Amino acid sequence: MKKNTSVLSGKGNLRDEVHRKAKTEAKKSWAWFENNVRNAAAGMSAQKFLGDNHAVAVKTVSPGSMIQYFYDPKTKDKLPYYDTFPLLLPFDVDGIHFSGINMHYLHPVTRAMLLQTLMKFVDDDSLSYNAKLNITWKTLKRVSMFPDVKHSVKKYLFSQVKSNFIQIPPNEWEYVIWLPLEKFKKASAETVWSNR
């Protein structure tokens, strides 16, 4: 089946543009991380940082946001690999599960291209703290020019979440996606990114 690459090869050639920005954005991301996460978290456990000391720690999942949290899969013994610190764009929540795109399953360049495409679904162009992406599984099917999206959509059990959720402010999404914060077990990030 031929991949639809029209968005990637359209105006401004999005793929080339993202590649050109990659090094600059990675540097900005590390500066953001130093100022907003690493310095604040110095000398404390990750659980304490997430649970008690981060300004945007929340207790629940809000569809259309970007969140990060510690997770211990119930079926980890059966999984070929898994991420214990997902970076998720949730789009579906019920009382037991929540589903979304775990950006860690995508190469950082693909994350940037996907996020840039999804930003057309944001409900607040000023990217205020309450801005959300109006995305559903149906929406994601429309961006099927990214073959990795299906591979990165995951369902999580609330009962297996081992921390509060860090809700990333929307004006910082573009920085966080470049950070190598994935914590894969049983495989390297490079293996995960190539296995789709």
DSSP code per residue over 133-168: B---HHHHHHTTT-THHHHHEEEEEGGGB-SPEEE-
| Confidence band, pLDDT 50/70/90 cuts, at residue 12 | very low
The stretch 81-101 carries a mean pLDDT of: 95
Predicted TM-score (pTM) of the model is: 0.75
Q: What is the mean pLDDT of the chain?
A: 78
In the chain, domain spans:
14-194
The stretch 59-65 carries a mean pLDDT of: 92
| Confidence band, pLDDT 50/70/90 cuts, at residue 31 | low
Q: Is the pLDDT of residue 195 over 90?
A: no
Q: Is the pLDDT of residue 175 over 50?
A: yes
How much of the chain exceeds pLDDT 90, in percent?
A: 40
In this prediction, residue 154 carries a pLDDT of 95
Q: Is the pLDDT of residue 86 over 90?
A: yes
